[in-house]
C-alpha cells in the first residue's frame, strides 16, 4: 500500500520536467504529506501537455457511492502472498474497478518521495523513500476515473497509485509492496491511451533498489492534517549506506545487460530537502 507521498516542487519545475502547462486556476503550493482525499497534480493521457489537480482517491464511474480507492494492485487478485519473485499475470486488467482505467485512463503522478510504514506497525514506524542523486520529481504510475454523484451530479476526478511487489529496499522496512515508478523513457507510452495493453502491463515492475534509499521519520505523518517540513526530518540512519548502494548497483550492472540507466550516478545522495 502507498497511502502517503510528498511533492514540494514549484509548478514551473513540474511544467519543465513533464513538458506540460498548469491548467487555468491551478493552485498547488506543495505538500509534505499528500494523503487520501487531498488534491494533487497529475498528467493524464487525454491531456498529456496539461498539469491538472485530481483527488487522491479513485471512484469507478459505475459506483453508486464514493469509494475513494487509493491503490490498485498490478497483480489484481493474484499473488496475495506478495511473493517478490512473482512474474505472473497482471490481474489489474480484470478487476472491475480498474479494467477500464488501465486500458485508457492512465496518468503520471509526480512525487518527490513516498512514505511507507512497516508490516506490523504501519505508519507507527514510517520511512521516507526517495530516489538517489536528487532525482525528483519522478513519476508514479497511476490510473484515473470520473465519478458523478448520483444525486447532485457533481463530478469527482480521482486517481489511484498502481502498486507492485516491493524490491529489496522495501523488504528492509519490512514492507511487501511499493508504487510503480516509471522510467522517464516509458512515460509517453504510459500516457498513450492507444498503447497496446501488453506494453502497459510489462511496465508494472518494481524499480531497482540500487536507485533508491530511505530513512525513518516521525509517526506524526499518520495524521492527514500534518503538513510541516519537520515531518520528513530523519529520526535514524538511512536504510543503506552509500557504499552498500554502489555495491548493489554494480551487481545489477553486471547481471543485467539491458539495465536502464536513466537514474544512474555514483554521487552520494542527501535526504530530501525543500
Q: Which residues carry out catalysis?
A: 2, 116
Cell of 37: 482525499
Asked whether the bond before 137 is cis by omega within 30 degrees of 0, the reply is: yes
Asked if residues 201 and 180 have their Cβ atoms less than 8 Å apart, the reply is no
Integer Cα distance of 82 and 75 in angstroms: 9
Cell of 32: 509534505
**Neighbouring-strand partners of residue 212:** 131
Integer Cα distance of 60 and 153 in angstroms: 15
What are the strands of the beta sheet with 4-7, ordered from one edge? 31-34, 4-7, 113-118, 122-131, 212-216
Secondary structure (DSSP) of 187-198: HHHHH-TTS-HH
Integer Cα distance of 187 and 262 in angstroms: 12
Integer Cα distance of 51 and 43 in angstroms: 5
Amino acid at each position: 500500500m502507498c497511502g502517503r507521498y510528498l511533492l514540494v516542487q514549484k509548478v514551473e519545475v513540474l511544467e519543465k520536467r513533464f513538458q506540460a502547462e498548469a491548467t487555468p486556476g491551478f493552485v498547488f503550493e506543495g505538500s509534505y504529506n499528500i494523503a487520501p482525499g487531498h488534491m494533487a497534480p497529475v498528467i493524464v493521457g487525454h491531456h498529456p501537455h496539461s498539469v491538472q489537480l485530481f483527488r487522491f482517491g479513485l471512484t469507478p464511474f459505475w459506483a453508486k457511492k464514493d469509494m475513494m480507492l487509493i491503490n490498485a494492485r498490478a497483480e489484481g487478485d493474484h499473488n496475495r502472498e506478495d511473493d517478490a519473485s512473482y512474474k505472473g499475470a497482471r490481474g489489474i486488467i480484470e478487476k472491475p474497478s480498474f479494467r477500464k482505467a488501465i486500458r485508457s485512463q492512465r496518468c503520471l503522478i509526480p512525487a518527490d518521495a513516498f512514505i511507507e510504514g512497516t508490516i506490523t506497525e504501519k505508519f507507527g514506524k514510517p520511512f521516507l523513500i526517495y530516489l538517489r542523486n536528487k532525482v525528483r520529481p519522478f513519476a508514479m504510475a497511476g490510473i484515473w476515473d470520473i465519478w458523478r454523484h448520483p444525486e447532485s451530479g457533481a463530478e469527482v476526478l480521482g486517481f489511484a497509485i498502481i502498486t507492485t511487489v516491493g524490491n529489496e529496499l522495501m523488504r528492509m522496512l519490512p514492507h511487501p509492496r511499493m508504487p510503480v515508478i516509471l522510467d522517464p523513457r516509458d512515460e509517453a507510452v504510459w500516457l498513450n491511451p492507444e498503447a497496446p495493453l501488453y506494453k502497459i502491463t510489462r511496465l508494472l515492475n518494481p524499480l531497482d533498489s540500487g536507485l533508491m534509499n530511505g530513512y525513518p521519520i516521525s509517526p506524526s505523518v499518520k495524521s492527514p492534517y500534518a503538513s510541516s517540513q519537520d515531518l520528513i526530518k530523519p529520526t535514524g540512519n538511512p536504510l543503506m549506506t552509500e557504499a552498500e548502494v554502489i555495491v548493489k548497483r554494480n551487481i545489477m550492472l553486471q547481471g543485467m545487460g539491458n539495465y536502464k540507466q536513466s537514474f544512474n550516478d555514483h554521487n552520494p545522495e542527501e535526504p530530501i530537502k525543500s
